[in-house]
Structure 1
Amino acid sequence: MSTPNAAVELIRQSIERHPDKVAYFCGERALSYAELNLASRRFALLLRERGIVAGERVVVALPDCLSFPVAFLGCLLAGTVAVAAGSALADDDLAHVIADSGARLLVSHAEHASRHAALCPGLAQVVCDDLGPTQEAPSCVDGFLPYHPSAEDFAYMLYTSGSTGRPKGIPHRHTSLLVPCDLMGRSVLGITGDDVIFSTSKLSFCYGLLNSLSFALRFGATAVLLPGKPDVLSILHVIEQRSPSIFFSVPTVFRQIILSCAEPKLKFPMRLCCSAGEALPPLLFHEWLRLTGMEIIDGIGASELSHHFICNPPGRAVAGSAGMVVPGYRVRLVDDADNDVPSGSEGNLLVSGETGAPFYWNLPELSRTTMRPDGFIRTGDIFLEKDGYYFHRGRSDDMIKVDAQWVSPLVVEDVLRGHPAVADCAVAAVTIGALARPGAFIVPAAGFESSPELVRELKELVRSRLPDHMCPARFRFMTNLPRTSTGKVRRCCLREQTPSPTKPE
């Protein structure tokens, strides 16, 4: 059975209707749909000239510049599997991705080309600048025929390590770039060709790839790319310069924007602000709403399922909730014996949908435990459902068992963030004697310092709101929390921290 080539389908209508419309802005540069179509087809011909055939893997180790969508779409047009690695991977991780994927070719930015080439001597390489390949690509694409995939052919692969571990490959078929456009982009977010999309999440992550590539191109919208680190000044500059109507980001960035602004109200051009990556704290939701007049549309997805499968509906977002099931997906909450739990009870989240990855690359044992025979994927998340809304209680391996009762770090963190001395915080298991107990890792707000008095206040706050077994047994004050490149707290690193004896207990 055949299936449409996603690269063709994503831009087909725009090429027919408005070829000169801007598909991408990056800094002061722009790339129209016609230019994107030509450049990606030339890239596909370049791959064929280099002897790369359908099904072989091509690692795209580029920053979020105009050459990324050119190379990514070009890979799909040639029938090769685009391994979206980005340019921020550590050398060891990039070398692992290249070796594990069995890549035949590496696409590098000129700034990193020499270093990347040294990682895998002998591997074929295409070097790009911000616009496309620096070497001569075929100029004539007349008669070029895009690869016509079967339903089983892979289009792209992402590597993810979650919050810890070696990056693992997740292959996806062409439909995983197209189906979320209808299920999420159109039905939930109402994206149209009039939208300007800005995502701080990079194209090498599932959230950023669907936001900046699939959603933007499928609906004939315009996307804005930010090649460098998404710091607050750069983000605010893009918002002022390009007036995006949809802003995709993560809780850490929303928090940083709030903390960086001294104005009593913030005026932004967006019609939608969306969050993912980790649970959005209710206090952050309410503060953003107070400052901007806009909800943050929180949702949850996974690299294994391409994009969101649970999301808040715009206009009906519930603080602290990841939202409702996106139509087209099936969700179950089960106990450890695989029995469905009743509404209002915590359970392990299982998700099934057309965009589910069939397995992890080269990891058959992990695939068997995650991708179930019944079509459901075990996400590793603990959720609670109430009135159709789903509330994230943490990762299953982050939960802390205290006196035969489970403690959700997120619940304790939400309470701690209610204290004015807490700018940010995370809760993770610490060992006292031979027992696991909640430990609180606090980033103090400006003007506050660690002290026994502050620890007593924080303990009293938690005990006034939660059962005693959920009260942190230790507090440690930190300058920053360890996070992944996508903004998720690395609780595994916190669990390895040994609280200093000089700090208040």
Structure 2
Amino acid sequence: MTGNASHWFVDRHIAEGRGAKTAFEEAWEGGRQLTYGALAEGAGQVADALTRSGISREARAAMFVLDQIEFPQIFWGALKAGVVPVALNTLLSTDVYGAILRDSRAAIAFVSQELWDVVAPAVQASPHLRHIVVIGPEAPEGTQSWEAFVAGTTPAETLECSADEIAFWLYSSGSTGAPKGVRHVHSALRQTCDTFARQVLDIQETDKVFSAAKLFFAYGLGNGMSFPMSVGATSVLFNGRPTPDTVSHILEAHQPTVYYGVPTLYAALLHKWETDGAAPQVPLRCCTSAGEALPAEIGRKWRDLMGIDIIDGVGSTEMLHIFLSNRPGDVQYGTSGTAVPGYEVRLVDEDGAEVDTGVVGELLVRGGSAAADYWNQRDKTRRTFEGEWTRTGDKYERTAAGRFIYCGRTDDMFKVSGIWVSPFEIEQALVAFPAVLEAAVVAHRDEDDLEKPKAFVVLKPGHGPEAVAGIRAFIKDKIGKWKYPRWIEIIDDLPKTSTGKIQRFKLRGRS
């Protein structure tokens, strides 16, 4: 049997009789549906069109594509042809796109028309691109329309390949710097489905899923595409910004059974529904969170309001999806749970020695979904991928019960009076204060040049600077006087990546 992932994710469903079932539905006025049969045909047409266009095996195909039904056709069509899709963040700047195109040397680019104004200068300046395909009603000069690209094609057969061949690239979200090209093999996709999707989510063919996290993000790629396609379920796609209003509307209109979010959005939804006085009635059986650790207060409020827990876990672009998680019926808020079946984790100190229970260490993980490497970044590859183990850059401590408590990114941790301080612990306490919507904590040096915690706080509407005194007193009582933020600065928004991760390095520059 071929190791090409598209055989199991796409072709298999036709043989198993799911051709007429809806695989994807678009969540906007006039949105379209795509059945598994139409997906198989469309992916086959893309594969044939790539070959006819002279895009050779192992060439890269840059995807500046919103969450719409063309995305899975392009992604799986490229895999069918042995071409490597590079799914790109749709919220980056022209300069970053130009750097990624130079780095990846993509031979063809697919662009959603809504992104054209930002993407155009980058793709037009690329010396490597030979074809530009625009998805939309109009094709600008020098490009080819989506309809013209696939016109006259015959669905191609799936190319035979090894499960260990490079299948696709993702660029890291850049929460601590410039994005890096992360290369994944064909077998990694199914690995995440056989582990987290099957053994934690228990995803079923009868599920309808909606992911607020986009498909270009490793978390969203699994949530909204590979996980539902692993069992023949249906996925709801949304091409816009996932605001509390839009997500609430989608949940009510499309009635998903599985919802995937991020902590920031869970907090914003709770605030909206508390303000509105009601939450939508949705047949949710499972909700997950990743991207950032979930504050315990948000998890408890969601459970009280919606009658269902949020399954908080941790994953990474390098590991493709979640490898450490709570699970249904076994949720302990304030922890990231335990290793997902199929993965092993351990905590080590600066010298690589395993640390004891209750001691903070860096989290390492071992599992079959690990990336092959970073493209053109040998030193970073060697520092991150140590044999079968992958360094996550996350600091954790393990409880006596074997659960893992998130402490912060390696670069975010700091010491106060010689003791490690977890920014996340302070942030959890801050968001438990009624006036606080979001918070981030970084190290700041006092007049004696010693590091102390500084908090940046986003307040809920109706609250102002007078809340600071109450926040400070609340924190002292909740987590201890030595950890409380010596400075509290109120800001309108926290800097985040498009995937919801707080960019604390930008706050450190302000502090």
Name structure 1 gaps, 5 residues minimum. Answer: 499-505
Q: Percent identity of the aligned residues?
A: 35
Question: Displacement, 1:327?
Answer: 0.9
Report if aligned partners of 2:287, 2:311 keep a CA contact under 8 Å in 1: yes
Counterpart among 427, 438, 441 of residue 427 in structure 1: 441
Aligned-residue offset at 1:135: 1.3
- The residue aligned with 2:142 is none
Match of 2:239 in 1: 227
Contact 1:393–1:409, Cα closer than 8 Å, also in 2? yes
1:389-417 per-position Cα deviation (integer Å, ceiling 9, x unaligned): 21111101001222211110111112222
- Which amino acid letter does the alignment assign opposite residue 351 of structure 2? A
The Cα shift of 1:138 comes to 4.9
Q: Distance in 2 between matches of 1:177 and 1:110?
A: 28
- Cα contact 2:443–2:453 (8 A) shared by 1: yes
Q: Partner residue of 1:389?
A: 403
For 2:137 and 2:313, how far apart are their aligned partners in 1? 32
**Which of the numbers 221, 227, 238 marks the counterpart of 1:215?**
227
1:440 equivalent in structure 2 = 455
- Whichever residue aligns with residue 241 of structure 2, its letter is K
TM normalised by structure 1 equals 0.94
Asked whether the 8 Å contact 1:280–1:320 carries over to 2, the reply is: yes
Q: 1:136 Cα deviation (Å)?
A: 4.2
Give the aligned length: 493
Amino acid at match of 1:75: A
Name the SS of the counterpart of 1:465 in structure 2: helix
Per the alignment, residue 141 of structure 2 pairs with none
Q: Give 1:275's match in structure 2, choosing from 280, 289, 296.
A: 289
Identify the match of residue 460 of structure 1 among 425, 449, 473: 473
Instruction: Return structure 1 stretches of 4+ with deviation > 6 angstroms.
Output: none
Q: Indicate if the aligned counterparts of 1:7 and 1:77 stay in contact, CA closer than 8 A.
A: yes
Equivalent residue, structure 2, for 1:106: 109
List aligned pairs for 1:91-240, cutoff 5 A: 91-113=94-116, 115-121=118-124, 123=129, 124-129=131-136, 133-141=146-154, 144-240=156-252
Distance 1:358 1:51 in 2: 27
Q: Distance in 2 between matches of 1:66 and 1:355?
A: 26
**Distance in 1 separating the partners of 2:464 and 2:308:** 33
Is this contact kept in 1: 2:49–2:153, CA < 8 A?
A: no
Report the equivalent of 1:502.
none
State whether residues 117 and 125 of structure 1, in contact with CA within 8 Å, keep that contact through their aligned partners in structure 2: no
The corresponding residue for 2:391 is 378
Per-residue CA deviations over 1:303-348 (Å, capped at 9, x if unaligned) read 0001010111111111111111001111011111211112222211
For 2:504, give the aligned amino acid.
R
Q: How far apart are 1:173 and its partner, in Å?
A: 0.3
Distance 2:431 2:222 in 1: 31
Give the direction of change, closer, same or farther, for the CA distance of 1:478–1:417 in structure 2 (3 Å limit): same
Residue in 2 that maps onto 1:416: 430
Q: Distance in 2 between matches of 1:67 and 1:30?
A: 11
Aligned to 1:296: 310
C-alpha distance in 1 between matches for 2:376 and 2:369: 20
CA deviation map 1:159-178 (0-9, x unaligned): 01441311100000001111
CA distance in 1, matches of 2:115, 2:242: 19
1:114, CA displacement in angstroms? 6.0
Please, what is the CA RMSD of the aligned residues? 1.8
Structure 1 counterpart of 2:495: 482
Alpha-carbon deviation of 1:34?
0.6
**Contact 1:350 / 1:379 at 8 angstroms: preserved in 2?**
yes
